[in-house]
Structure 1
Amino acid sequence: MELHVVEHPLVHHKLTVLRDKRTPQPVFRRLVEELVTLLAYEATRGVRVGEVEIETPVARTTGVKLAQPAPLVVPILRAGLGMLDGMLRLVPTAEVGFLGMIRDEKTLQPMTYAERLPQDLSGRQCYVLDPMLATGGSLGGAIQYLVDRGADDITAICLTAAPEGVDKLQHLLADLQVPCRVVVASLDERLNDAGYIVPGLGDAGDRLYGLAE
């Protein structure tokens, strides 16, 4: 697994405002979209393309277009939904699937409670959206789920990550015979006793959509 921490002044600026507990919900939502678009620029450097012949107003030339099958964007419910528009702003022709992951409180293993994905992902590049890479269990389970369906190239985009989550993900994906990258805006200090990233930005889902009680 390859980890890429994006170093850019605008990424740092937007993330700082997201971290601030005083940032109101509408501003938080908009900044998540903007930050994801910046991260997606880096995350899609390896997107597959093919040649295409076009006519400019001056001459005929060769350019590139996104290859088929189209990239598949997979937000992990619910917080990943807040990242979707930012991703589609950069790759509007991508297809979208959905995956809901939850931890089984008895086995502590991630399990799928909802999905809307093609049955066969053979030959597909997948981009997984999950704001926080905290313990790594849910993201690892989501990636394994996509690989089991045939995905052959996976990139995850996260806003922040904890070292513990990165280590856990490295372990979970160690035997995976599929290229896997994680693109983040920040590798933070640690997890606290409650499993939150420090300094982090709190519960991304709650800050995007309010409390789900």
Structure 2
Amino acid sequence: MHDHLTIVDHPLVQHKLTIMREKETSTAVFRQLLREISLLLAYEVTSELEMTTKRIETPLTEMDAPTLKGRKLALISILRAGNGLLDGMLELIPSARVGFVGLYRDEQTLKPHKYYFKVPEQLDERMVIAVDPMLATGNSSAAAVDMLKEAGAKDIRFLCLLAAPEGVARMKEAHPDVPIVTAALDEKLNELGYIMPGLGDAGDRMFGTK
């Protein structure tokens, strides 16, 4: 177990992930399961949100009740597959601010190139959660976190569905201060940079493209 890596081994997460891995699972079911898993992963990744109290009145009495402290957190989707995790997380945290990082991977070099970047203001005062279903080589993820730090983010978490050991190592080397939350740490990457055994291309399976 890596000290900066949390694997969410909740039975519901693992059961839903198994169905997502199966190649016969339809686009509609894949998309629905990703939304459901993202809710469960969001529960884990937000467990350290800062709290304070406020005075409220229940139907019976007044009390000092717990409430979230500080600015709304920021969810950053790494396009395009990140949007699948984003949808479910927004159901749990509807007031979150949302940003997008667009990166494409050069098929020859596997290096990431930026094509879009739009994030909320005051990132330095928010918990920032970057979401992307697959942490494969880690190059795109590390590049996205670089950009978020340049935009002022200081408290960053990375949330993914599957991680490869290579990607976890790359992220630890580039951003040792960024904890990773995932549903599974798979065996390895293949020669094309895909996670094995994995579930194929998350974006293609989510959006029905090939």
TM-score bracket relative to the smaller structure: over 0.9
Distance 1:120 1:111, change over 3 A: farther
Per the alignment, residue 151 of structure 1 pairs with 153
The answer on 1:128 being equivalent to 2:130 is: yes
- Unaligned 5+ residue runs, structure 2? none
CA shift, 1:7, in A, is: 1.3
The answer on 1:191 being equivalent to 2:189 is: yes
CA shift, 1:51, in A, is: 1.6
Q: How far does the alpha carbon of each residue in 1:30-78 deviate from its partner, in whole angstroms, 9 at most, with x for none?
A: 0000001001111000112322111111111112222232100011110
Distance 1:7 1:105, change over 3 A: closer
TM-score (structure 2 length as normaliser):
0.93
Per the alignment, residue 81 of structure 2 pairs with 79
How many Å separate the matches in 1 of 2:188 and 2:27? 25
Alpha-carbon RMSD across the aligned residues, in angstroms, is 1.7
> Which structure 1 residue ranges, 4+ long, deviate > 6 Å from structure 2?
none
TM-score (structure 1 length as normaliser):
0.92
Per the alignment, residue 48 of structure 2 pairs with 46
Per the alignment, residue 113 of structure 1 pairs with 115
Among 13, 20, 26, the alignment partner of 1:11 is 13
CA shift, 1:167, in A, is: 0.7
Matched pairs, number: 208
How many Å separate the matches in 2 of 1:138 and 1:72? 19
How many Å separate the matches in 2 of 1:67 and 1:142? 26
How many Å separate the matches in 1 of 2:88 and 2:175? 27
How many Å separate the matches in 2 of 1:121 and 1:7? 30
Other structure's SS at 1:122 match: helix
Per the alignment, residue 28 of structure 2 pairs with 26
How many Å separate the matches in 1 of 2:193 and 2:19? 22
Other structure's SS at 2:209 match: coil
CA shift, 1:107, in A, is: 7.0
Distance 1:93 1:119, change over 3 A: closer
- Unaligned 5+ residue runs, structure 1? none
Q: How far does the alpha carbon of each residue in 1:95-121 deviate from its partner, in whole angstroms, 9 at most, with x for none?
A: 111111123568754332101213542
